[in-house]
Amino acid sequence: MPLPLHHLRAGIIGTGFIAPVHIEALKRLGVQVTAISGSTKGTQALAEQWGTPEVYGDYDYQSLINSPNVDVVHITSPNRVHVEQSLAALAAGKHVVCEKPLGMTTEETAKVVAAAAASDRVFAVNYLCRFYPAILQMRAMVQRGELGRIIHVQGHFFQDWLLKDTDYNWRVLSSEGGKLRAVGDIGTHWIDAVSFILGARAKSVFATLETFHKTRYRPTGEVQTFTSQSDPASMVPYEVDTEDFGSVLLKFGQADHGHVSGTHANCAISQVAAGWKCSLYVGIYGTKGSVQWEFQQPNEIQAGYRDQPNQVLTRNTAGFDKDVANFTDNPGGHAEGFPDGHKMHYRAVYEHIASGKSTPVLYATADDGHYEVKLCEAILRSSEKQTWVGV
């Protein structure tokens, strides 16, 4: 029986693309969204749209954190302020859901790990792909040994929203988003999903990163994620110090279930792949069979075998639903996707809070977020040295 979540109250820091995604998912769960903080204009507009009673403009996130009407703080602000806002929320005794990446450097994120460990609060990092039913199903198949010993993994995460040199967002600037852009922004979603499926972390990496647009053009003000500008005459040039695309090889360690050890993986990551809006593809290949999944077709798994017919497994139908019963709501044939992945993620986090931490921890923790930043730093060193680097 699902736990009632309507007595929990959320506050949202940030008003960009992902903030309304958090709000909508929370409201679908029955969670109260009681406060929003960000720019004065953006906060007011978002509060009016969603009927949020407490509004803290001028980036006054501390007032939101201090509000007695907020139990869980959702951090959807730019990367460079994630750590300070996470530490402030934990210090105020709030539970936290923080957008990825957890921070800009491991020196910073280690502070969050320590603060979260010292607190009795729940801390989650928003790697939502874990909560697609297909990802949970593939994870269960790997753990049960249905695919045999995992030989290798391959895939990609392709987008095209930064294809043109006039496409701009704060993520392009290393001072705002970190030294890794494509890998840090979307590549870590792929890596976290694969780590979750395998039940193991990457121990070493070999990476090549490239910046195609050495110079880009930006407007005089900020623009929302996934929006574009087209007239360079009304924009100013700037030198780009983050990558547009990259290739990453990974070698994974030992998993507790014994079906993964030294597994090799390769991933291509790009934000300049024309025609690909949000294509995260994963293929897991074992000695008994394989599974493949595509983010843009989230309700199906392609299962492959050497000596029997291949299969298409469909969400919430026979052979698919037994491992994901609490993470899918609609009958088979009634598609679930991106908004539902967020809803299921927050359901897992809020049920963990409401149950007094008695439910399984499937969400990414502060330690998982710290590991992803550590991995990004290893990828950056590998690209610079052109050699394998330990994580």
Q: What is the pLDDT of residue 184?
A: 94
pLDDT of residue 113: 98
pLDDT at 228 over 70: no
Whose tokens are 């294809």? That residue is: 163
Residue type, 265: A
Q: Is 80 exceeded by the pLDDT of residue 32?
A: yes
pLDDT of residue 364: 98
CA–CA distance, 58 with 13 (Å, rounded to integer) = 11
72: nearest Cα among 110, 22, 112, 4? 22
pLDDT at 338: 95
Q: What is the pLDDT of residue 326?
A: 81
Segment 198-202 mean pLDDT: 98
Separation CA 323–CA 275 (nearest Å): 34
**Per-residue pLDDT at 234:** 77
2: pLDDT strictly greater than 70: no
Burial group, residue 44, by CB count within 10 angstroms (0-12, 13-18, 19+): middle
Q: Is the pLDDT of residue 360 over 90?
A: yes
Full 3-state SS string of the chain = CCCCCCCCEEEEECCCCHHHHHHHHHHHHCCEEEEEECCHHHHHHHHHHHCCCEEECCCCHHHHHHCCCCCEEEECCCHHHHHHHHHHHHHCCCEEEECCCCCCCHHHHHHHHHHHHHCCCCEEECCHHHHCHHHHHHHHHHHHCCCCCEEEEEEEEECCCCCCCCCCCHHHCHHHHCCCCHHHHHHHHHHHHHHHHHCCCEEEEEEEEECCCCEEEECCCCCCCCCCCCCHHHCEEEECCCCCEEEEEEEECCCCCCCCCCCEEEEEEECCCCCCCCEEEEEEEECCCEEEEECCEEEEEEEECCCCCCEEEECCCCCCHHHCHHHCCCCCCCCCCHHHHHHHHHHHHHHHHHCCCCCCCCCECHHHHHHHHHHHHHHHHHHHHCCCEEC
Average per-residue pLDDT in the chain? 94
Answer whether residue 50 shows pLDDT above 60: yes
pLDDT at 145: 97
How high is the pLDDT of residue 320? 81
CATH fold of 9-128 reads Rossmann fold (3.40.50)
> Quick one: three-class SS letters along 3-68?
CCCCCCEEEEECCCCHHHHHHHHHHHHCCEEEEEECCHHHHHHHHHHHCCCEEECCCCHHHHHHCC
Q: What pLDDT score was predicted for residue 318?
A: 85
pLDDT mean over 27-46: 95
At residue 96 the predicted structure's pLDDT band, cuts being 50, 70 and 90, is very high
In angstroms, the Cα distances linking 154 to 41, 215, 295, 299 are 43, 31, 14, 20
pLDDT on residue 229: 59
Distance, CA of 345 to CA of 44 (rounded, Å): 27
pLDDT confidence of residue 153: 98
Q: With contact defined as beta carbons under 8 Å apart, do 71 and 122 qualify?
A: no
Q: Are 331 and 316 in contact (CB under 8 A)?
A: yes
From the candidate CATH numbers 3.30.450.80, 3.40.50.300, 3.30.40.230, 3.30.360.10, the one assigned to the domain spanning 130-385: 3.30.360.10
Q: What is the mean pLDDT of residues 202-206?
A: 98
Confidence of residue 4 (pLDDT cuts 50, 70, 90): confident
pLDDT of amino acid 231: 65
pLDDT digits (tens, 9 = 90+) for 331-358: 989 999 999 999 999 999 999 999 999 9
Q: What is the pLDDT of residue 13?
A: 98
Cα–Cα dist 79/102, whole Å:
7
- What tens digit of pLDDT does each residue of 127-179 get? 999 999 999 999 999 999 999 999 999 999 999 999 999 999 999 999 999 99
pLDDT digits (tens, 9 = 90+) for 230-240: 666 779 999 99
Amino acid at 315: R
Nearest to 281 by CA among 147, 98, 171, 138: 138
Q: Check residue 220 and give its pLDDT.
A: 78
Domain range summary for the chain, segments of one domain joined by +: 9-128, 130-385
% of the chain beyond a pLDDT of 90 = 90
Asked, colleague to colleague, whether 9-128 and 130-385 share their fold, the answer is: no
**Could you report the per-residue pLDDT of 296-325, keeping only the tens digit for each?**
999 999 999 999 999 999 999 887 877 787
Instruction: Give the tens place of pLDDT for each residue, 274-301.
Output: 999 999 999 999 999 999 999 999 999 9
Can you give the pLDDT at residue 227? 65
Q: How many CB atoms lie within 10 A of CB 70?
A: 25
Q: Is the pLDDT of residue 225 over 70?
A: no
